[in-house]
Copies of this chain bind each other. A is one copy, B any other.
Amino acid sequence: MSAVEIQRRLTISDVARQAGVSVATVSKVINERYGVSAETASRVQAVIAELGYESSLVARSLRSHQKNVIGILVADFEPFSTELLKGAAHAIRGSGYEIVAYSASGAAEELVGWERRYLSRLSGTLIDGAVLVTPTVVDARYGTPVVAVDPHTGRSGMPTVDSDNLKGAMLATEHLLGLGHRRIGFLGGRLDLESARLREEGYRNALVAAGVEIDPQLIRVGGYRPESAEQPARELLALDDPPTAIFAANDLSAIRTMQVAQDLGLRVPEDLSVIGFDNVPESALAVPQLTTVAQPIQEMGYQAVRMLIDLVEGRSPGQTHVSLPTELVERQSCAPVRTRES
């Protein structure tokens, strides 16, 4: 039996018409309510299967308040957020929930408070709750269950998943120190971003602990994006006494830093060591492969969704602040320092 020709979008009344019953009956079958004969039910089921009908997310959430949909709100689909999405997908498997990942990609990206606007756009009508990926503001109370991943302004009162940025940054810096580097540049995020602040603090702590004086010239703001990291990376390498190693506060900046160095005729890691932060898959695609500090990004997504589902279902989650460990991943972009005159 071939499917009827569908020109419009499929609605419950298409199913009803095709099965020769009323819309209400179809609804009952779908929601497994009593009061439908087995025969009618199976006929309706057959039509549903034949047409590939599924109820409209929107219309359904108009009536029933439980929607079984969670939102993952991201400023952009870039390596960090898409990694997170993989973990989120894993978390909903078998849970009966669906994922709507939403982004206006850039339209709002630059602006502080994109997460509030996104939430305003989706919550109440479409999703039961949301994971906010690296939101800019978390002090506000929203009318919806929300979990923040790696919020830019720190934890505040909102349920949060992050990783140990301070420890990770110390690991990175200590690794470079261990290779004999003393002039180590730091390409940070922005100081209004909590993770960036902690990474800088880790950098400073490690230097101080090693008795290396901190040179403010070696600390620049890279802004986490390749485009915004390029200029400060150039500035670092143009110093009279340039660094022999650079710790960039995320992988995308680190990768761009390597490219800048190579443009300037420097070899990585022979002439310049570079270390990143995040361990997005792209870090292994870079040439040379990037040594970096790994955050368990997928796991962060997994945990955030688990917490959110607890919240949505009215259970209090085990913890409201989950912090996952970071670790050093050694690849090819760091080498022992060469003495100036070698």
Q: Which residues 113-172 in A have Cβ within 8 Å of B in the complex?
A: 113, 116-126, 140-144
Assess the A124–B77 pair: CB atoms within 8 A.
no
Contacts of A117 in B (CB 8 A): 52-54
Q: Is A94 an interface residue (CB 8 A)?
A: yes
Whether A86 contacts B78 in the complex (CB less than 8 A), given A6-B141, A100-B101, comes out as yes
Q: Is A217 an interface residue (CB 8 A)?
A: no
Question: In the complex, which of the residues B10, B88, B102 contacts A120, with contact meaning CB atoms closer than 8 Å?
Answer: B10
Contacts of A11 in B (CB 8 A): 124
Whether A140 contacts B6 in the complex (CB less than 8 A), given A57-B121, A105-B89, comes out as yes
**Bound CA span A280–B281, Å:** 9
Contacts of A100 in B (CB 8 A): 100-102
- Over the window 8-32 of chain A, the binary record of Cβ atoms lying under 8 Å from chain B Cβ atoms (1 yes, 0 no) is 1111000000000000000000000
A97 to chain B, nearest CB (A): 8
Contacts of A85 in B (CB 8 A): 77, 82, 85, 101
Q: Is A103 an interface residue (CB 8 A)?
A: yes
Assess the A143–B8 pair: CB atoms within 8 A.
yes
Contacts of A92 in B (CB 8 A): 104-106
A191 to chain B, nearest CB (A): 23
Known: A9-B119, A77-B89. 4 other contacts (CB 8 A): A9-B144, A85-B101, A281-B281, A284-B285
12 residue pairs of the A-B complex, CB under 8 angstroms, read A5-B141, A52-B113, A52-B120, A53-B117, A56-B120, A56-B125, A57-B125, A58-B58, A79-B86, A99-B105, A126-B126, A281-B284
